[in-house]
A and B are shown apart, each in its own frame.
Chain A
Amino acid sequence: MTPEIGQFALTLALAVAIVQSILPIVGASTGRVLWMESAKTTAVLQVTLVAIAFGALMRSFVVSDFTVRNVVENSHSLKPMIFKVAGTWGSHEGSLVLWTFILVLFGAGVALLGRNIPVGLKARTLSVQAWISVGFLSFMLFTSNPFERVFPPPLDGTDLNPLLQDIGLAMHPPLLYFGYVGFSIVFSFAVAALIEGRVDPAWARWVRPWTLTAWISLTAGIALGSWWAYYELGWGGWWFWDPVENASFMPWLLGTALLHSAIVTEKRDTFKSWTILLAILTFSLSLLGTFIVRSGILTSVHAFAVDPARGVYILGLLGVTIVGSLTLYAWRAPQLGSGGVFRPISREAGLLLNNLLLATATATVLFGTLYPLFVEAVTDEKISVGPPYFNATFIPFMLPLVIIMGIGPFLSWKRADLPGIWQRLRLVFGIAIGVAGIVWYLQTDGPLLAVVSIGIAAWVFVATLREWALRIKLFDLPLSQSLRRARNLPRAAHGMTLAHLGVAMLVLGFVGSTAWKEERVLFAEPGTTVEIAGFEVIFDGVERLRGPNYIAQQGQLRVLKDGREITLLRPERRNYPVAGTSTTESAIRSTLRGDLYVTISEPATEKASGQWNLRILYEPLVNWIWIGATMLVLGGSLSLSDRRLRVGAPSPKSRSSALQPAE
């Protein structure tokens, strides 16, 4: 019964979405307040109905209802409960329900929380959002019904891919979707603004919290995915430039550009049509990502089952949404007008440069991702584009970006004073050169680019701290006064500082773990000793263990430093009999200086019995990647909690409370 309720809820949600896609926007253009207000009810109704469907699907997974095809294909009664729950979004159909749920959640969020948004803009935005949900709900109902029954029901499920049985990965899709589906509401705001033909600083301010929310989740989602790849795939890598990774990375890059260009729109009433274009393109790239993952159009390690009918439907959706909105843009953007003028040396110019670099970097990633398709279409030749292309084209844009990130916050609006800035940054520049020099002295074997990059990381780190110190007049005023200034500083400013410091940490981690990585691959038998990065690793043997739904071979390795035992590593090779696959569980000794990373795999021949294949890696500084990513998320959250975003215009409620007598 439950699955039918779920399906019925989805059908109703589609009907409600159709109403919401027409009534509010027609109301807005004919001035009918009641029609516009209806968006609030329908948005809440939509989220309730999709939540019921999502809940119904989740229940089918929790109770292992094997009459539902989706559960049969993606679950197993022996699976731990948390992964049964996560199985809800583990398949194409289930993840679409999650996708749609987040889509309508953002719609309802704007309907309920966006109290200061003018009723016309809000109505139009919610209608546009409903157009997207009509597209996705119909897609789900017509081509990918998650509640399809199977008869006769099999005795047990066919398991979820054991690689995906990991808490990091279970949480990764929801966060990622929250991020890139979150950009849908920014898209809807942009389209609504184009329909109204008006973009002003207030618009940018209303949109900012939504952009930030999406950006924070996307950052967290990508970081979690990369962390998962690092410790679960057993390759010791954290980024592979796989098309599916790129699919989530491109909206992130453009979303970052959007976040910065919207600041200019908010503060200086300029960059208007550019901000709108970024808002449209960011969500377009999210849609493109959804398409790439689900159409099987490119070779990738992670993809859902492929069905051409689905691919055509999503491509149709993509076409209508992207081409439609961009055509609207071409038609209406000239009427948006441009705002204040600025000098070539100013904060506007700095942010423009930031945007150009980010947008170009996005374009190179997009080009590299789709290049195999272009080449095949034109010449019928099959090629693949690997990390060398991406590293060669992407890094040259990122390093200048990080350099100007250090200077940007020092620039004032309209016209900045370059000699004054140089005076304040001289010392920082000296420190950065010094750090690069020390690194070069200690590590002369690494590539020069790595040394330069560490210098750049030091540059942005110290420059950001310096800017923050100047704002609160640290050391110029007594400490207590500085602290008071720090408290009075808007949270968005602290957020920016934290996020920019996070970027410095990220660069440190990227460079350390790429340039100075050490690796040993060997065939070992008990007693084998390996030297790596100053550690002595002794292989003691292997033990067989039983897990809930797998059998594991667990290796024991003692790690010695300077003759003293510091830790015991236990990498595993797990065999899942039901799924008929194996996974590698790496063992990692994590420190801030670097990770010692060990994986084990079974001997390939009978002749080599008693021997094991060991892979031992030393990845310096790799943890700074996750620390940096956490700082980005925290910085974004701090900025999101800024009062200015919540207050905007005084709401009637707070005005009345202000009139009440003091108690």
Chain B
Amino acid sequence: MMKKILLAMPALVAVVLGGFLFWGLNPDRDPNAIPSALVSEPVPDFELPPVESTQTPGLSAAALRSIGEPVLVNVFASWCVPCRAEHAVLTRLVEQDGVRLMGINYMDKPADAANWLEELGNPYERIGSDSEGRVGIEWGISGVPETFVIDANGIVVYRYVGPIVTPEAQDEIRAALAAAGGQS
């Protein structure tokens, strides 16, 4: 009897597995979507010092709330290659669209970050130096770069994972900013 059960195990496991696979086929499910627990929540409480040897002030939750209009918060690092690609786009958003851009410098050496900003230019209004990645965890980021749209009340309304380089991505960001502005 024991042996019969044992021999039937593979078939049973296959059926259970099949159940999961069938569930996974649900067309509404997008395995590439990354959850954004933070969206429609207020920004987590944090306070970050400025990046050493730069003139840009640091970033905190209070500072974000006090701006009173929608802003972009971009998580970047000097070691992150896609961030370089994104940098030009962010700069253009600031210069041409008048977007207010804040930065979180994630898991970076302040000296490297300062050089990076020196080299590429600094479009950020404020930059918080999160050299140990603590605040990154609170924001729940899954990688660098990531960009959040925060409305005037300090609520996270949109999250973009990965570099904003394609025209579609830029449009999404603009749309999210416009929507955030409309609500407040």
Contacts and interface: CB of A to CB of B under 8 A. Distances in A.
Question: Are the chains A and B members of one assembly?
Answer: yes
A276 B20 CA distance: 26
A315 B157 CA distance: 38
B33 to A, nearest CB: 7
A114 interface: no
Contacts of B68: none
B31 A297 contact: yes
27 contacts: A280-B10, A297-B21, A297-B24, A298-B24, A308-B25, A312-B22, A315-B25, A326-B14, A330-B4, A330-B11, A370-B17, A372-B31, A373-B20, A376-B24, A376-B29, A382-B33, A382-B34, A523-B84, A604-B84, A604-B85, A604-B87, A604-B88, A604-B120, A605-B91, A606-B88, A613-B84, A615-B81
A334 interface: yes
B143 to A, nearest CB: 11
Nearest to A363: B13
A392 to B, nearest CB: 20
B35 interface: yes
Given A281-B10, A298-B24, A330-B8, 11 more contacts: A284-B14, A296-B31, A297-B25, A298-B31, A318-B21, A373-B21, A374-B20, A377-B20, A382-B33, A605-B120, A607-B120
Interface in B1-31: 3-4, 7-8, 10-11, 14-15, 17-18, 20-25, 27, 29, 31
Contacts of A607: 119-121
Contacts of B55: none
A124 B88 CA distance: 65
B121 A605 contact: yes
A75 interface: no
B79 interface: yes
B20 A295 contact: no
Choose among B4, B18, B34 the residue with the greatest number of A CB atoms under 10 Å from its CB. Answer: B18
Contacts of A334: 3-4, 7
Given A277-B10, A299-B31, A322-B14, A608 B25 contact: no
A311 B32 CA distance: 17
Contact of A315 (B11, B15, B22, B32): B22
B86 interface: yes
Interface in B31-84: 31-35, 79, 81, 84
A329 interface: yes
B74 to A, nearest CB: 14
A190 to B, nearest CB: 12
B87 A605 contact: yes
B11 to A, nearest CB: 4
Q: Is the interface of B mostly helix, strand, loop or mixed?
A: helix
B85 to A, nearest CB: 5
A377 B10 contact: no
A326 B10 contact: yes
Given A308-B25, A334-B4, A373-B21, A327 B88 contact: no
Contact of A312 (B20, B25, B31): B25
Contacts of B27: 308
A284 B14 CA distance: 9
Contacts of A319: 18
A381 interface: yes
Interface residues on B, range: 20 to 34
A323 interface: yes
Interface in A278-320: 280-281, 284, 291, 295-299, 308, 311-312, 315, 318-319
A284 B10 CA distance: 11
Given A291-B21, A312-B25, A608-B120, A323 B14 contact: yes
A343 to B, nearest CB: 22
Contacts of B7: 273, 329-330, 333-334
Contact of B81 (A273, A318, A323, A613): A613
A523 B120 CA distance: 11
Which 4 A-B pairs give the minimum distances between C-beta atoms? A326-B11, A330-B8, A605-B88, A604-B84
A374 B23 CA distance: 10
A377 B120 contact: no
Contacts of B17: 370
A606 B29 CA distance: 40
Contacts of B10: 277, 280-281, 326, 329-330
A613 B83 CA distance: 12
Contacts of B31: 296-299, 372, 382
A377 B24 contact: yes
Nearest to A374: B20
A601 B80 CA distance: 13
Interface string B81-125: 100111110010000000000000000000000000001110000
Contacts of A330: 4, 7-8, 10-11
A384 to B, nearest CB: 8
The winner among B7, B22, B25 for most chain A CB atoms within 10 A is B25
Contacts of B4: 330, 334
A479 interface: no
A333 B6 CA distance: 11
A523 B81 CA distance: 10
Given A296-B31, A312-B25, A370 B20 contact: yes
